[in-house]
Each structure stands twice: as structure tokens, then as C-alpha cells.
Amino acid sequence: MDLVLDLGQSGARVRYAEADYSFNLSKNSNEPVIDTLQRIFEEIPKQEFESIFLSLTGLQGVVPDTTPYGNLCSEFFKAKTVAVIDDGLAAYCGAIGLENGVVLTLGSGVVAIAGRNGSFAHCDGKGPIFGDYGGGFWIGQMGLSKAIATLDGRDDAHDLVELLASELDSYRALENSTGTEAASLCISAAKGVLLGAAKNIASAEVIAEQAAEKLSTTVISAWSKTQPTKDESPLISFLGGLSQSQYFVELLRRDISRKMPTAKFINPAGNHLDGAPIIAKAFPDGLKPLLDWWRA
């Protein structure tokens, strides 16, 4: 029996014995990925898995030495083989298999993976300080920052003050406005901003349009790294929580089509949990820097 795990910035999911389980244990910027995995493993009933497939956020497109991951999986589950995979690559394979195209994962952060004829390219996924432009944290932070600035007399986004009233109450209750709770508040505010944009709240619309512009640039950049010919028609698919907003998806499709008219948009066939074992088994020798193996 195998175990598949997908770790994101807002939680974790695992699959084994043909069932999926969710854990409210996320990767945060103050904790190494390996420590987060240990916390999750402690919540999984003790058992043995032959192979473990790890789809991980926080790798920023470069899988590190797999030894600590393999040792941890061996310690908890007596695993014989462990695949460590950048979560963007797992998302890619889950969404469009091994077809040529780009998969944009829209969660708290942002990562785009492009694939063409068996080679892959990575774009963004740099984290909220140096990247993740247009993702959930970015959208929520923009909305809350403008609302807070309005209350402070430095902006005039009064529509956001009304829209994000509940989030502003949570902001006032923060003991530390620079810690993980503040970051989580920004992430949760993104949904409110997009809902407001869909209802034609002007300031929210501006933020959503800016996010779509940045994300479309990320998609184009990822595809260009594969050195395609001009007339190719890449498949484009979106995964992640923000992709549940049809309004936002339409903005993205509009901006991408304007920049790359040959793009073809498809709904994802699956997710990270589907893609991780497929891509790992397709590349038994690894696919550095996005995928590597540990074997006992």
C-alpha cells in the first residue's frame, strides 16, 4: 500500500487505502518542511507503506536532499521508496497529465509549471515576501491594507472597509500584526475580495484585475521557458482554492488569451494527490530540480 501526501500553505491532504483525509496542519514560513511533515505523520494511524509520494509546497522549484524525507518516512511507516515532488509539478500532472501546457496553482501562494515534450519549467512559487504575485495572500493583503489605510486617512477605499468589516474586526483583535495569524487573516480575506469584485465593488475589482494581470504574466513566462514555437497551442488549467471563483477564472482566461491567443483552456482532470504518483512513476530516475527519489 502507498501513501500520497500534498502539503500546502493552508493545510494538508493524504490518500491511502483508496480514501482521502484532510489535516488542518499547514506549512508556515517559520517552520522547515520536514518539521511540518513530522507533525502530520504523527496524526496518521501507525501502519506500513511501501512507497510514499510527497507533493510539497515551500520548495520553490528545487527539491533538496531527499535523505531527511526518506529517513522520516522510513521511521514512521517503514517506507522503502519516497518521491519528493515540487507541488506545482504534482498539480501539473494531476490537471493535464503529461500533455503540453501550463498549470497554474492558485492557493495562498502561486506556482506555474509548464511542460513541453517531456521537459518542464517552473515560475514563481517564491513565497509571499519575494513572489506569489496575484495569489490568495497577495489579494487579501492588498484588500486589507487598503481598507486599513482608509481607516487611517491614507486612502479612500471605503467600499473595502464595508466589504471586509469582519476581517477588520479580526485585524483589531490581533496581538501580533506581523505573525502567522496576520498572514492567515490575509489569506482568508482573499475570498471576500473576490466575492466583492464579482459584485462590482470597485476597489475589489481593481485588486482582482491587478491579480489576474500578474498571474497571466506568470503563465506566459512559464510557457516561454519551454522554448515553444509560435504556433503551438498549450493547454492551460487552474487548480487551487481561488480557481473556485468563476469570476476570477474568467479574468485570467481573458488576460491570458489576450497575450497568447493560441492557448486552450481545460478543466483539471485531477489534483495534486492524483498527479504525484503518476509523475513520480513516469520518471523513476527523477526529474531534477522538481522531482527526486529516496530509496532504502
Q: Looking at 200, 229, 254, which one is the last position of a domain?
A: 200
Residues 121 and 255 in one domain: yes
86 and 55 co-located in one domain: yes
Tell which of 151, 175, 200 closes a domain. Answer: 200
What's residue 21's pLDDT? 92
* pLDDT of res. 29: 61
What is the value of pTM for the model shown? 0.88
Do 145 and 253 sit in the same domain of this protein?
Answer: no
Indicate whether 112 and 253 sit together in one domain: yes
Domain count, the chain: 3
Q: The domain that contains 118 carries what CATH number?
A: 3.30.420.40
Do residues 112 and 246 both lie within one domain? yes
Statement to judge: residues 152 and 15 lie in one domain: no
On whether both 258 and 281 belong to a single domain, the answer is no
Q: What is the CATH number of the domain that holds 61?
A: 3.30.420
- 147 and 44, same structural domain? no
Q: Which residues span the domain enclosing 126?
A: 99-131+208-265
Query: What is the pLDDT at residue 26?
Result: 62
Say if residue 20 is in the same domain as residue 86.
yes
118 in the same domain as 244: yes
- In terms of domains, do 158 and 215 share one? no
Q: What is the pLDDT of residues 78-115, one digit of tens each?
A: 999 999 999 999 999 999 999 999 999 998 889 999 99
- Which pLDDT score is estimated for 293? 98
pLDDT of residue 28: 60
- The DSSP-derived string for the chain is -EEEEEE-SS-EEEEETTEEEEES----TTS-HHHHHHHHHTTSPS---SEEEEEESSSTT----SHHHHHHHHHHH--SEEEEEEHHHHHHHHHHTTSSEEEEEESSSEEEEEEETTEEEEEE--HHHH--TTSHHHHHHHHHHHHHHHHTTS---HHHHHHTHHHHHHHHH-S-TTSHHHHHHHHHHHHHHHHHHHTT-HHHHHHHHHHHHHHHHHHHHHHHTT---TT---EEEEESGGGG-HHHHHHHHHHHHHH-TT-EE---S--HHHHHHHHHHH-TT-BTTTEEEEE-
Query: How would you write the pLDDT of the chain (296 residues) with one tens digit per residue?
Result: 999 999 987 778 999 998 999 887 666 666 788 999 999 999 999 999 999 999 998 888 899 999 999 999 999 999 999 999 999 999 999 999 999 999 999 988 899 999 999 889 998 877 778 878 999 999 999 999 999 999 999 999 999 999 999 999 999 998 888 888 898 899 999 999 999 999 999 999 999 999 999 999 999 999 999 999 988 999 999 998 899 999 999 999 999 999 999 999 999 999 999 999 999 999 999 999 999 999 98
Decide which of 155, 180, 200 is a domain's last residue. Answer: 200
Regarding whether 251 and 109 lie in a shared domain, the answer is yes
